[in-house]
Structure 1
Amino acid sequence: MTGSYGDSTRSVKAVASEYVPGAPIAPPPVPAAAYHIPFDEDDSLDSYGRRSNPTWRQLESALAQLEGAAGALIFGSGMAALTAVLRTLAEPGRKVVVPADGYYQVRAYAAEFLAPRGVTVTPARCAQICDVAEDVGPGDVVLAESPSNPGLDVVDLHRLGMVCRARGATLVVDNTTATPLGQQPLSLGADLVVASATKALAGHHDVLAGYVAGSHPEVMQRVERERLLAGAVLGAFEAWLVLRSLGSFGLRFERQCQNAAAVALTLRSHPAVRSVRYPGLPGDPSHAVASTQMRRFGGVVAIELASAAAVHDLVGRSALLVGATSFGGIHSSVDRRARWGDPVPAGFARLSLGIEDTDDLLGDIEQALC
C-alpha cells in the first residue's frame, strides 16, 4: 500500500513524527546552540549547534524520503548547498560542466571561485550537455539543471547519467524547478541532488534554505564535513518552518502545476505573447523528454512579451501578480529576467503560479495583457 501513496500523503508522512504517547504530533523547533555532554566523550550526542540539531535531522529525513535518497543535508540556502558540493568535488586539475542556460549565479561562482583554483569550467546548454559530457573523465563533475531556470529546457537525465557513469564523472542535478514531486533525478542516474528549499518546498516566501540529497555515504560524509567547517548551516527555526511547510507541499504543488498548465495553454494563443515555454505543454520543445522523466511539470511558465515595458504593464494592471524574483510560493509572481543579466530578450518573463483559483488567475492575466 505504501508504494501507491499520492503526493499529499507522502508529504504528510514525510514530516510525521515517531508515535510516542503524550508527545506532540508536530515537535517544536530545538534552537539550542550548546548541549549537555558527558565527560566520557560520546560523538553520537548533540554537542554544538553548527554540528547537529534534532530539527535538522527531522527535516533531512523528510527531504530524503521525498527525493528517494539514503540521506539529505540542509544548508542556509540553495546556493550554499550547491557551492558546498562544488567545493567538495571540484578538485584542481579537474573539469566541471555547468549550465550555460541555468541560474546565472552558478556560472558566476564557477568563474570567480572555481576557475582561479585550477578547475576547468565548461558551460553547456541543456541541448548540448549530454554531448559535452562525452569529454569528461574520472573525477570530473557535471552539473545539470532541469528544467532550466529561466528558460525551462529539459535535460535527458537518464542519458546524461549513463554518459557520466561510463566516464567515471559525478552527476549533480539541480532539482529546484521540478521539485521531488515533479521528478527524482537519483532514480534517473544522478549521484547527487541539490535544490533550493526556499522555493516550492517551503513555499511561503518567508525562509531561505537549501539541501543536498544522495545515496553515496562517502560523498555525503564529505559534504557534511564541508558544511561543518564552512558553517553554511540553517537555523533551527528556519528548518522548522520548512518542515512545517512540507506537510502541505503536495496540495500546494498540485495547484501550482494545475495553474501553470492552464496559464501556458491560454497564453500560447494570446496575441500579446510572442512565445510560451512550459514542459507540460504539448508541442513544447522539451515536452517529449519531460514526459519520460517528470511526474509533474512544475509551477513555472516562461513567456516573452514585446518589451520590458510590456512586462511592467502586465504587473501594474494585474490584481493577482506581484513583481518578485523568487518563485514557487503561494502568491503568483512575475520576474523580468533580463534585469538580472540572463541572456534573454528584454520582454522575457518568468511566471511563477501560486495557489490562487485557476479561473481567477486566467481572468486576471487576460485582462492585464489587454
Structure 2
Amino acid sequence: MTVVPGDGTLASHAGERPAALGEPARPGPVLSSVFHLAPAPGGPALDGYGRPDNPTYRDLERALSALEAGSGDPVRTTTFASGMAAISAVLFGLLKAGDTVVIPSDGYYATRPLAADRLAAFGVTVREAPTLGPYPVEGAALVLLETPSNPGMDVCDLPAVCAAAHAAGALVAVDNTTATPLGQRPLDLGADLVVASDTKALAGHGDLLLGHVSTRDEQLAAKARQWRTWTGAIPGPFEAWLALRSLATLDVRLARQAANALAVAELLSARPEVREVRYPGRPGDPAHAVAARQMRRYGGVLSAVLPDAAFVERMLAASGLASAVTSFGDVRTGIDRRAQWGGDVVPDGFIRISCGIEDTADLIADLTAALDAASG
C-alpha cells in the first residue's frame, strides 16, 4: 500500500538527497559558476557552466516539484531569480507576435505594465480581466490567473476558468504566490503552469528573492528552462539553499499564519473604524464558498479598508508587532498601505496585512491596542 505523506512530512523532507556515509545530512550551497569537466567525451555526466544548471538549483527544484505534485503525477520545476523573472519566463517564453494573452486587472501590479509595455511592443495583444471574470478567452493563447488576488483577495473558480480556456485553445498559468503549493495546487485543478514568487510565504523569512515555474508538460518545462538559460534569470545558489532550508517549516508556518489571519479578520470585522475586510478563509467572505472548494488552506494574507492614510500611520506607530513592509509571507506580521505605490486602484486607507507566526493572543492584543490608539 502506498502511503501518501502529510504536508508536514512532505515539506520537511522535500528535496532531501539519499543518505550517504560521510556526506552532510543537509548539503550546503554549491557556489561555483565553473566546474572542471571530463578531459574526454563519453565520461559521466557532470555539471558545467553554472548558468544552465547548478546542484543547488536542482535540490530546490526537486523539493518544489514534490510540493506542487502532492500525490499526483510528477511535476517539473524551474527556479528563477525572482517572482517577476518567473512571470516573465511564462509570458515571453511562451508567447509570440500575433498571440493574445489575458492577464489579471486586479492582480500583482507589476505584471500589468510589463505586459502593456513590453509584450505589446513585441506584437502580443494584451487583454485584462478581473479575478472574478468574465474572462475573454476566445482567440487567446495564454490566460494568466492570480487567485487569491493580490491585494484584493478575490478568488476565481479555477476548474471552471481552466475548462473554458482550454475549450478556446488557450493555456492557463496560475500565479499561486499567496496560497503556496500547500494551500492550493493549480495543476490538480486544470492549470497548465504554476508561477510563484517564492520571496513571499514559501521561503517565508523575508531574506531572499526567488521564483519558480512548475508544470507537468515536458515541452512547457523545456521552454521555461530555455528562457532562464538564455536570459540568465538564475537564482543565486545561496538563495536557493536558504529557500530549501526554509521549506522544512512551511507546513507549521502556514498553519500559524492562517490561524492568525482568521483571528485578525474577526477582530477587524468587529471594529467600527473598518469599512471592509477580505479573507477567503472567513465564513461569510464573498470568496469563501469558491475558496473552500479548491483551497487546502487559506494562508496568512488579508485586506481591510481603514478610514485614511493618517489612520494607518497612527496604527502602525502604535503597534509593537506589526511593521510597514511591502512584501508578505514573512514570519513577522507586516502591513502595507497599497495606495502609496500607485499601482492598485484601492482606497487611500486600504491595507494588506500579512500575518506572521506570533502567538495569536499577542498579535490580537497588539493590534487592538494599535487600533484604539489610532482612533484616539
Q: What TM-score, normalized to structure 1? A: 0.96
Question: In the TM superposition, what is the alpha-carbon distance from 1:6 to its structure 2 partner?
Answer: 2.4
Of 39-48 and 342-351, deviating more is: 39-48
CA distance in 1, matches of 2:317, 2:340: 17
3-state DSSP of counterpart to 1:361? helix
- Amino acid corresponding to residue 151 of structure 1 in structure 2: G
1:136 lines up with 2:139 in the alignment: yes
- Partner residue in 1 for 2:90: 85
1:37 aligns with 2:40: no
Task: Provide the rounded CA distance (Å) in 1 between the counterparts of 2:41 and 2:113.
Answer: 43
Does the alignment pair 1:23 with 2:27? no
Mapped partners of 1:193, 1:291: distance in 2: 20
Name the structure 1 match of 2:368: 366
**3-state SS of 1:144 partner:** strand
CA shift for structure 1 position 298: 0.8
State TM-score, norm by structure 2: 0.95
Q: What CA distance in whole angstroms lies between the structure 2 residues aligned with 1:40 and 1:106? A: 46
**What is the aligned partner in structure 2 of residue 105 from structure 1?**
110
Code of the residue aligned with 1:291 in structure 2: it is A
Determine whether 1:275 maps to 2:276: yes
Structure 1 counterpart of 2:210? 209
Q: Measure, in 1, the Cα distance between the counterparts of 2:107 and 2:313.
A: 24
| 1-structure distance, mates of 2:251, 2:16 | 14
Q: Aligned in 2, Cα 1:270/1:82: closer, same or farther, shift over 3 Å?
A: same
Q: Which runs of 5+ in 2 are unaligned?
A: none
Who is 1:350 aligned against? 352
Q: CA RMSD in A?
A: 1.3
Per the alignment, residue 291 of structure 1 pairs with 292
Q: 1:126 aligns with which of 123, 131, 136?
A: 131
SS of the residue corresponding to residue 14 of structure 2 reads helix
Distance in 1 (alpha carbons) for counterparts of 2:209 and 2:157: 29
Secondary structure of 1:132's counterpart equals coil
2:201 touches 2:330 (CA, 8 Å); kept in 1?
A: yes
* 1:15–1:247 Cα contact (<8 Å) kept: no
Query: Size of the alignment, in residue pairs?
Result: 366
Structure 1 segments (4+ residues) deviating >6 Å: none
Residue of structure 1 equivalent to 2:173: 172
SS at match of 2:127: strand
Q: Give CA-to-partner distance per residue, 1:14-33, whole Å, 9 cap, x none.
A: 13221212321101110011
**Which segment is superposed worse, 161-170 or 212-221?**
161-170
1:5 positional shift: 2.6
User: Unaligned 5+ residue runs, structure 1?
Assistant: none
Counterpart of 1:12 in structure 2 is: 12
Gap change, CA 1:2 and 1:62, over 3 Å in 2: farther
Task: Give me the whole-angstrom Cα distance separating, in 2, the residues matched to 1:250 and 1:2.
Answer: 22
One-letter identity of the residue aligned with 1:299? G
Task: Report if aligned partners of 1:91, 1:119 keep a CA contact under 8 Å in 2.
Answer: yes
Would you say the 8 A contact 2:147–2:178 is kept in 1?
yes
Distance change (3 Å), C-alpha of 1:41 and 1:223: farther
User: What does residue 51 of structure 1 align with?
Assistant: 52
